[in-house]
Amino acid sequence: MTSPPAPARRRALLRVAALAAAPLAGAAALPARAAGPDLSNVTLVLGDQAGGLRALAEAARVLDGVPYRFRWANFQGAAPLFEAQRAGAIDLAPAGDLPVLTAALGDPALRIVATRVGSPTSLGIVVQPDSPVRTVADLKGRTVVVSSARGSISQYQLYGALREHGLAPGDVDVRFVLPVDAFAAFEAKQIGIWATFDPYYGNVVRRGARIVRDGSGINSGLAFLTSPVDTLDDRSKRAALSDVLARLTRAGQWALAHPADYASVYASLTRLPRDAAADIARRAALAQRGVTAADIDVLQRVADRAAADAILPKRVDVASIAVRNLSAA
């Protein structure tokens, strides 16, 4: 599920160039920057999961002509993404609510710098088409593969679904498998029950997997962008990062205003089937904003529930890791 190489990405964009050059240019246009630090020597490493953030930025062309250098680092799931951030290898990381909390427990330098609003229907528990499992209650005594690792949004969703039916986590055998490996195993019918998230979720559903329960009413639908303290403490990097976030906000606005156009570009850039790409794009976390008090409250409730369920080993104080005003010195 990695992005195609650079020449292929350029060819993909050219193939869809007729979409609406004017809206794309409008999305990329940002107010002139006020005088600030020289950013020409800054290089940001932008982390990504399954190419989603990069596809959004390239679809809207919002990073064209930026006054700093950047490169992308793509990961198949949140666990390896946050390992890289903890090692100081990336400056920005997108992830769902619970993976951010899990990472924060192991990385005191992690800070939340933006909120992205999606849909809890972007993940779920799926089974093979001929599975005897029809409801969550049928999971009792069975093995459920969860992606990508302990502390994922899919683990949170699975435990919430079990609780609805009076079941405990111990009533199922949970196995953790990274999503690319799990996808291949599910396609080969080596996995019968899989709790996963987009784009893997949307792809297998379009390929015939049956949904037992999605994340509606369990997951928050919020995702977040995080950055390490070292990046934020560097005045030039912080300024460049603030600019990136402003541009990604504009990219999300463009994608929400032009869903069919965005889905087409997303399919071309990620090489996903167009029907699956349209489903995934429709519920993706595209709307972006600075972290609000309400976001902190929602994430704190997730943290408290996850600690009560022993998904997290201890409580996370969300307010202490949230940056409400990135542009502040």
The predicted pLDDT at position 16 comes to 32
Q: Give yes or no: residues 262 and 303 share one domain.
A: yes
Q: Give yes or no: residues 113 and 15 share one domain.
A: yes
The predicted pLDDT at position 36 comes to 66
**Residue 234 to residue 278: CA distance in whole angstroms:** 39
Q: How many residues does the chain have?
A: 329
Q: What is the distance in angstroms between the CA of the first residue and the CA of the last residue of the chain?
A: 38
- Considering the domain boundaries, does residue 326 fall inside one? no
The predicted pLDDT at position 82 comes to 96
The predicted pLDDT at position 50 comes to 85
The predicted pLDDT at position 69 comes to 98
**Residue 263 to residue 256: CA distance in whole angstroms:** 10
**CA-angle at 168, arms to 165 and 171, nearest 5°:** 100
At which of 214, 245, 260 does a domain end? 214
The partner residues of 222 in beta bridges, in order of sequence, read 117
Q: Give yes or no: residues 199 and 300 share one domain.
A: no
- Considering the domain boundaries, does residue 327 fall inside one? no
What is the number of domains present in the chain? 2
Q: Give yes or no: residues 113 and 22 share one domain.
A: yes
Tens-digit pLDDT string for the chain (329 aa): 433 444 444 443 333 333 323 333 333 334 444 556 799 999 999 999 988 899 999 999 999 999 999 999 999 888 899 999 999 999 999 999 999 999 999 999 999 999 999 999 999 999 999 999 999 999 999 999 999 889 999 999 999 999 999 999 999 999 999 999 999 999 999 999 999 999 999 999 999 999 999 999 999 999 999 999 999 999 999 999 999 999 999 999 999 999 998 999 889 888 999 999 999 999 999 999 999 999 999 999 999 999 999 999 999 999 999 999 887 54
At which of 179, 214, 249 does a domain end? 214
Q: Give yes or no: residues 134 and 107 share one domain.
A: no
At which of 163, 188, 214 does a domain end? 214
Q: Give yes or no: residues 126 and 108 share one domain.
A: no
Q: Give yes or no: residues 105 and 149 share one domain.
A: no
The predicted pLDDT at position 285 comes to 94
Q: Give yes or no: residues 111 and 15 share one domain.
A: yes
Q: Give yes or no: residues 43 and 58 share one domain.
A: yes
Are 210 and 132 in contact, with CB atoms under 8 Å apart? Answer: no
Determine how many CB atoms are found less than 10 A away from the CB of residue 282.
Answer: 17
CATH number of the domain bearing residue 158: 3.40.190.10
Q: Give yes or no: residues 275 and 307 share one domain.
A: yes
Q: What are the strands, taking DSSP E only, across 232-320?
A: 287-289
Determine how many CB atoms are found less than 10 A away from the CB of residue 303.
Answer: 24
Smallest CA-to-CA distance from 215 within 141, 314, 283 is with 283
The predicted pLDDT at position 7 comes to 47
Please give the residue range of the domain that contains residue 170.
121-214
- Considering the domain boundaries, does residue 243 fall inside one? yes
The predicted pLDDT at position 9 comes to 41
Q: Give yes or no: residues 160 and 129 share one domain.
A: yes
Nearby residues of 43 by Cβ (< 8 Å), 6 or more positions away:
68, 69, 70, 71
What is the three-class DSSP state of 51? coil
